[in-house]
Amino acid sequence: MTEDRRTQRLRRRETHSSRSVPSVVTAVVVLLVLLWLFLETALSVSGAPPLLLSPLTAAQWLADLPRQAPGAVLAVVGLLVALVGLLLLALAILPGNRPRYVVTDERNAIIVDYEVVASAASRVARTAAGVSADQVHSWASRRAIEVQVHPTSGLPVDEDAVRSAVERELASYGLEPVPTVSVAVATRGAVGV
Please name which of 193, 136, 142 lies closest in space to residue 166, comparing C-alpha atoms: 136
Identify which of 11, 167, 26 has the alpha carbon closest to the alpha carbon of residue 98: 11
Beta bridge partners of 102: 111, 176
Closest CA to 149 of 162, 163, 135, 130: 135
Instruction: Determine the pLDDT at residue 192.
Output: 57
What rounded mean pLDDT belongs to the chain?
A: 86
What secondary structure letter does DSSP report for 134? G
Residues of the chain with pLDDT under 50: 1
Contacts with 22 (C-beta within 8 Å, 6 or more apart), sequence order: 88, 91
What was the pLDDT predicted at 186?
A: 87
Cβ burial, residue 166 (10 Å; 0-12/13-18/19+): buried
Coil, helix or strand at residue 58: helix
For residue 183, report the phi and psi dihedrals to the nearest 5 degrees.
-120, 130
Looking at residue 1, its pLDDT comes to: 43
Which residue, among 104, 140, 110, 98, has the nearest Cα to 122 in the 3D structure?
140
Indicate the angle between helix axes 20-46 and 71-93, nearest 10 degrees.
Answer: 130
Interacting residues of 128 by C-beta distance below 8 A, sequence separation 6+: 161, 162, 165, 166
| Strands 144-149 and 180-185, bridge-based pairing | parallel
Answer whether 142's CB lies under 8 Å from 175's CB: no
